[in-house]
Structure 1
């Protein structure tokens, strides 16, 4: 009987939310197409698995990118997942593509790279500002961009969806359509540098439209999925100046059912392995303490920050 009681007691302790479990198996949603999500997930998995032996992170090739990861997290079929802040916010609030599948259990762990607004025109175009896109033809490289992100960005200049026409194509097709002159502008929130856009800028002369500082500040204040982002000079051939635009951050998200210790362990492993992360991929290297400090200072963390992540940030003085 004493043995049975001891076994039950150990089982209860092992499954208490606040008690760390050695070498706990967790899943990490990337995407089905690999790409940048895939390399970030691989980098996170590598540093987490060799940290203190607390976690065994398995990268999952999920369907639907970040939006698919939010849906899987809401059903607790993933432990962690990559997604844009836009998809996470819409999931948490039950808006946009998530009107029928609200994910109130979603929690933020950390933010990483930005997807800056790439609004490109030909160098000889008479379009000099986003305001000049009224009545023009645009092309975008994903449904999320064409339906949500680009209209959201252009709303900063008073343009609604009826102010222009926008066509959604695949990444390569969108670039070719713009290169061939069949549209007036390429509009997409992209990781940078984009290989397709770098190739484009070597074949034709292009300009990237920036945002007026006041309009950018007002847009960020009014649309919570955006933050201030910069496409640094030299990112693309012929680009000589920094260009300030709205951006959408990509982050790591989890759910409120994941224990504080598991989230703390992953957060600590990533934050304290930045040099290794950066060696694996520049985008993985953006998951830094400084980045999280800016996130906390901005104060707009939606979905809410997971307590396990907050515990680590407080330990290193990021209040």
Structure 2
């Protein structure tokens, strides 16, 4: 009997061994392929694999946008991570905005993990235009682009600051902005994305530009989050740029285990400096961005932040 019992125990242990050594697999849904946020997902996947010695594998899924990402939590399991502005999570949980009439109990189970680079507004004007503030855009030709967050936000700011109808809006795609700026067809362009923004880097290096700052009063009018782009980020930029941003973060749901959420969050922060060596936009991600993530954090992530001494508000716990 003893031999049979021992054999049964041994067989059980052998069968369980592959499970103990199995890789943890995560699906990360962010943005359209080719976008900066899709590339960030690729960088996170590589960092997590390296930081866990292959113990955690992240697979990137293309997305059509943040609203879709939030909606998908209704049918996803504990391996699902997605990115979106925290404000959209709040809207989903309140059944407001894009989620009006589409409420679901699954939205209440969304929990934050960590911030990623914010969508940052850049008002980029050529040095030749002589424009140094938003008021100076009057009478100039500016490219806003079409259909993007930056275009919608840029149009909103023109209205807020009394520039509607006073700025000539170029009818072209944002992808043509640098060529149009070089050729003098436009005086500037508006773009939103993580900083440093590749198209702004190119414009600063090839044409020479001034990235405009907003005053405290102007930022307050926009209702957006204040963000500072440090001096020296772009060629010829001798002073900090003060602008607005839309925070973005990585989220999961309570279906994810505390241990997986802890390991994923811990690995992200421990690998952040190495990611910044490869892609400078990670240098802008630090604990100061946590305040803008006004959503409850996953218990596993909370464990990491407590260990790291990163304070969170009562509403985030």
TM bucket, shorter chain: 0.7 to 0.9
CA distance in 1: counterparts of 2:251 and 2:171, whole angstroms: 27
Specify the SS of the correspondent of 1:235. Answer: coil
Aligned-residue offset at 1:123: 2.4
Deviations 1:214-248, CA, capped at 9 Å, x for gaps: 433x247xx2xx32222333333332222111122
Aligned-residue offset at 1:40: 2.5
CA distance in 1: counterparts of 2:304 and 2:151, whole angstroms: 37
Residue equivalent to 2:123 = 119
Asked if 1 retains the 8 angstrom alpha-carbon contact of 2:178 and 2:202, the reply is no
CA distance in 1: counterparts of 2:204 and 2:179, whole angstroms: 12
Asked if 1 retains the 8 angstrom alpha-carbon contact of 2:143 and 2:174, the reply is no
Specify the SS of the correspondent of 1:263. Answer: helix
CA distance in 1: counterparts of 2:44 and 2:141, whole angstroms: 40
CA distance in 2: counterparts of 1:137 and 1:232, whole angstroms: 27
Aligned-residue offset at 1:266: 0.6
Residue equivalent to 1:40 = 40
Residue equivalent to 1:76 = 76
Q: Which of 220, 225, 247 matches 2:245?
A: 247
CA distance in 2: counterparts of 1:89 and 1:160, whole angstroms: 31
Q: TM-score, normalised by structure 2?
A: 0.72
CA distance in 2: counterparts of 1:202 and 1:44, whole angstroms: 28
CA distance in 2: counterparts of 1:309 and 1:116, whole angstroms: 25
Q: Aligned pair 1:129/2:133, yes or no?
A: yes
Asked if 2 retains the 8 angstrom alpha-carbon contact of 1:134 and 1:163, the reply is yes
Q: Aligned pair 1:207/2:210, yes or no?
A: yes
Deviations 1:267-305, CA, capped at 9 Å, x for gaps: 111122334333443334555xxx23x244x3x433332
CA distance in 1: counterparts of 2:294 and 2:166, whole angstroms: 30
CA distance in 2: counterparts of 1:75 and 1:152, whole angstroms: 35
CA distance in 2: counterparts of 1:134 and 1:100, whole angstroms: 41
Specify the SS of the correspondent of 1:42. Answer: helix
Asked if 2 retains the 8 angstrom alpha-carbon contact of 1:92 and 1:105, the reply is no
Q: CA 1:86–1:151 in 2, change beyond 3 Å: closer, same or farther?
A: farther
- Farther-moved stretch of structure 1 (160-169 vs 259-268): 160-169
Which sections of structure 2, spanning at least 5 residues, go unmatched? 1-19, 312-317
Larger Rg: 2
Residue equivalent to 2:303 = 311
CA distance in 1: counterparts of 2:206 and 2:54, whole angstroms: 50
Asked if 2 retains the 8 angstrom alpha-carbon contact of 1:21 and 1:54, the reply is no
Aligned-residue offset at 1:30: 3.5
Which sections of structure 1, spanning at least 5 residues, go unmatched? 1-19
Residue equivalent to 1:57 = 57
Q: Aligned pair 1:301/2:293, yes or no?
A: yes
Specify the SS of the correspondent of 1:239. Answer: coil
Q: TM-score, normalised by structure 1?
A: 0.72
Q: CA 1:242–1:148 in 2, change beyond 3 Å: closer, same or farther?
A: same
Q: CA 1:37–1:205 in 2, change beyond 3 Å: closer, same or farther?
A: closer
CA distance in 1: counterparts of 2:91 and 2:158, whole angstroms: 19
Aligned-CA RMSD value: 3.8
